[in-house]
Amino acid sequence: MRITRLQLKNFKRFTDLTIENIPKEAKLVLLIGSNGSGKSSVFDAFNSIRKDWRDIDKSYYSKNDNLSEIYIRFDSNDYIELDFNVDGQKESNLTKKIKFIGRSSIRIVPRISNRGNADTVSENADSPLTFIDADTRFDNDLFMYIQEIDNALRAPVFQGKSADTLKIFNDFISPLNTSLINIFGGDATTTIQIAEFQNATRQSNGKLIFKKGNSKINYDLLSHGEKQVVILLLNFIVRKQYYEDAIIFIDEMDCHLNTSLQARLLDEIVNVWIPDSAQLWTASHALGFIDFARHANNAAIIDLNLLNFDIPQVILPQPKDSLEVYDIAVPKETIRNILKGHKLVAVENQNDQYYNAALGEKGYLFLPASNNREVFLTVKGDANMMGLRDRDYLKPEEIKAIKAKFPGLKILHYYAFENYIYHPDNIQELQWAGYNKADYIEDITQQKNKRLIPIVDEIATARQTYVEFKEGIKNDDKREQITDALQSNDFEAFYPYFNMKKHYPARPYLQQFTYQIKDLVQTKWFKQQIESILTN
């Protein structure tokens, strides 16, 4: 069950806020904005529905046959209204199934107590009263976690059976340990892993012991970032059955986490722990969260920054190609100050590391982009950026027109990055014993001719995806110039259109030599070729 539209009228700081067109596939809705922009107020609205749920009959109604709306009225002018994607559920099912489960940003439990109680969990009765109160549910989560493991170990004894310890490990221990590695990186020798636990008694607190390499660490001594992750994961493990068909809202999950961990935490929670029937809303201005949501197909970003909520506001999810969403995490002025003196270049296919190795000393800083479309949009959106895109199947006159209209967009002369590093002239500079340039060219030519039909067949489909053709660059859709070049056995005629990565993947001739890509980008030939493209 997922929210597709939310309206808040005269609630908290919102006079009339509408968030609409949230995609039904959005498993994650990320609210971004500066401090005080109203992110937590949206969660207060969800919390109001949660608290008033027992009186739902007084405030619930539907405007259509699908019964896809909830309407909570406080008085004649104040209300909360939500539209759901519910696949035509009946009213009795809808009112019974929709659950709002929230967590405040104040949820770090510094040390484990002996006050854990599982009785309140099923009704979510252990949640904080308001979102300025501390969320101490971790004590109950740990109590449930230990209790479930104990029950699984002891129950078979009364039936004269042995406990299935492998199943217990796979059900309770392994999922948490796997997620810890996925988030923190490393392996079992460098990342915390659950090692043992101790039950709480009236006289002593419970314990959750982790190992890291040969060391054992009590939960109480973990860093705040480690505690943050453990608290969130354990909550999802022990309450997974209660999160089905729920709207889950968690404020500032990124607290105490560095940027790389932020993205991995959100990825793990959204794609591993949130049920497909549920939706997660979270608020953040963290770079890692924003970057994950921008690239995820099942996420929507809602920007509340610097809006006047004294007047009605209608907000739509941010476009996936918008780079403005990053400003709240890292303002452009900050980036420019950090990178002052560098020439910034966006490049395709995560090849930034190799370009940086080759030309970093020349004052260039290459930044990764997913594809040629993202390279183009980066250049179009920031006049201070350059972009270096693969040639693909662009014709010379098209390249000339693109460079004239978008001078910051540079285009490789050959098909792609791989055409440069595996170019016969580049290989020859390495002076490998036994290398014969003519034999290598002959091998590439033979491989090209074997694949000529599928190569020609893919040209039209590939050219339809080039974003430049949607920006006024003429596409006459005539392929003869390209196909004639590919049919030629003149190396410099066909090579600009030959995809070395796709159609010469095994590189049979080069298999007799030992090499790494980092060696191939250090040649004088490669550096001169790329720098020439960037400066012309």
Beta bridge partners of 30: 282, 301
Least reliable range by pLDDT among 177-181, 256-260, 302-306, 475-479? 475-479
Indicate the pLDDT class of residue 496, thresholds 50, 70 and 90. very high
CA distance 507 to 61: 66
What phi, psi does 3 have (nearest 5°)? -75, 135
What are the structural domain ranges in the chain? 1-98+245-330, 122-239, 332-535
Least reliable range by pLDDT among 63-72, 190-199, 241-250, 475-484? 63-72
pLDDT top residue among 260 and 279: 279
Alpha helices in 188-249 (DSSP H): 224-238
CATH 1.25.40.10 describes domain 1-98+245-330: no
pLDDT above 80: residue 304: yes
The most confident of 65-79, 113-127, 188-202, by mean pLDDT = 188-202
pLDDT per residue as tens digits for the range 438-453: 999 999 999 999 999 9
pLDDT at 329: 87
pLDDT above 80: residue 89: no
Residue 292 identity (one-letter amino acid)? F
What is the DSSP secondary-structure string of 453-484?
A: HHHHHHHHHHHTT-GGGGTT-------HHHHH
Q: Within a 10 A sphere around the Cβ of 89, how many other Cβ atoms?
A: 18
pLDDT top residue among 57 and 108: 108
Helix (H, G, I), strand (E, B) or coil at 339: coil
For helices 259-268 and 174-184, what crossing angle results, to 10°? 150
Indicate the pLDDT class of residue 93, thresholds 50, 70 and 90. very low
pLDDT at 458: 94
Q: Is this model's pTM higher than 0.85 or not? A: no
Mean pLDDT of the residues in the chain: 88
pLDDT at 60: 43
pLDDT at 11: 87
pLDDT at 471: 92
pLDDT above 70: residue 96: no
Indicate the pLDDT class of residue 92, thresholds 50, 70 and 90. very low
